[in-house]
């Protein structure tokens, strides 16, 4: 095996730009693979089964859960989501690093079962920008947008449970910061960094 595979757990409130950042990381680093999650959510326009998610019924989801196929699972926005152990195993056997793009509840479970994982929280620059991003997506209806904005506030309070936090203010900088964490070149995003803590408190409580 070429690399000692690592497990990266990336979480963010909806609308923080996590998917764009993770896609860019994977594009630039061919040795990182994204683990495709299972979900009971209906596919959005342009989403494909087996590429964006494995879309399953609640019944199918529960069957897999009962067979102990998941490393973590959670209910998010009234749908179920889970990471399959098999996906992680396959990626590691390919000699690649694994990226999980999951919510904070799932991240807690993964940290408990695999404490050696590297966990990263992505923060929007402000709560109003997060709302604008949710509105501009045009993939969700108004009630879903409101639910997601409300949940986002709760999600953000979990940032300090993570090893690193990246504020997605400027996309290029955020991409570089995420990559430097992956390449172990930068410690300034550590959630123990006083300057970063101050910035995050402004986002959360102003
Ligand atoms: P979306 O429906 O917008 O694709 O995702 C909604 C939320 O579910 C996001 O916060 C996303 O990170 C989270 N999510 C996606 N896949 C998983 C998973 O496998 N496990 C957990 N716990 N959360 C997930």
Do 129 and 139 contact (CB within 8 A), yes or no? no
The SS3 assignment for 194 reads helix
For residue 159, CA distances in Å to 92, 95, 118, 150 come to 27, 30, 14, 16
Note the pLDDT tens digit of each residue in 65-85.
999 999 999 999 889 999 999
Note the pLDDT tens digit of each residue in 146-197.
888 888 989 999 999 999 999 999 999 999 999 999 998 778 899 999 999 9
Question: In this predicted structure, what is the pLDDT of residue 95?
Answer: 92
Kindly report whether the global pTM for this prediction surpasses the value 0.75: yes
Query: Of 13, 12, 21, 23, whose CA–CA distance to 121 is shortest?
Result: 12
Q: Is the CB of 72 under 6 A from ligand 1?
A: yes
Give the chain's mean pLDDT: 92
Q: Which of 73, 81, 108, 130 to mutate to test the pocket of ligand 1 (most atoms within 8 A of CB)?
A: 81
| Residue 120 domain boundaries | 7-35+96-205
Ligand 1, atom 14, lies closest to the CA of 102
CATH number, domain at 181? Answer: 3.40.50.300
Whether 148 maps to a domain, the answer reads yes
Whether 2 maps to a domain, the answer reads no
Q: Going by C-beta distance under 8 Å and a sequence separation of 6 or more, which residues neighbour residue 95? A: 1, 2, 3, 5, 31
Whether 80 maps to a domain, the answer reads no
Ligand 1, atom 23, lies closest to the CA of 102
Name the pLDDT band for 1 (thresholds 50, 70, 90).
low
Angle CA 125–129–134, to nearest 5? 125
Q: Looking at the 3D structure of the chain, how many domains does it have?
A: 1
Question: In this predicted structure, what is the pLDDT of residue 13?
Answer: 92
């Amino acid at each position: 095996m070429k690399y000692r595979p690592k497990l990266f757990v990336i979480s963010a409130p909806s609308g923080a730009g996590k998917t764009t950042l993770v896609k860019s990381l994977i594009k630039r680093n061919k040795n990182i693979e994204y683990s495709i999650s299972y979900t009971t959510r209906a596919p959005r326009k342009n989403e494909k089964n087996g590429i964006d998610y494995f879309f399953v019924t609640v019944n199918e989801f529960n069957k897999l859960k009962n067979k102990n196929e998941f490393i973590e699972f959670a209910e998010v926005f009234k749908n179920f989501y889970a990471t399959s152990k098999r996906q992680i195993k396959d990626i590691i056997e390919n000699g690649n690093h694994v990226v999980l793009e999951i919510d904070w509840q799932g991240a807690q479970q993964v940290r408990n079962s695999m404490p050696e994982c590297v966990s990263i929280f992505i923060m929007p620059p402000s709560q109003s920008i997060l709302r604008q991003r949710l509105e501009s997506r045009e993939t969700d209806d108004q009630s879903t947008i409101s639910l997601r904005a409300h949940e986002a506030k709760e999600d953000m309070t979990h940032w300090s449970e993570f090893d690193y936090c990246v504020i997605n203010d400027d996309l290029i900088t955020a991409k570089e910061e995420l990559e430097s964490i992956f390449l172990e070149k930068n410690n300034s995003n550590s959630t123990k960094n006083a300057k970063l803590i101050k910035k995050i408190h402004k986002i959360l409580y102003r």
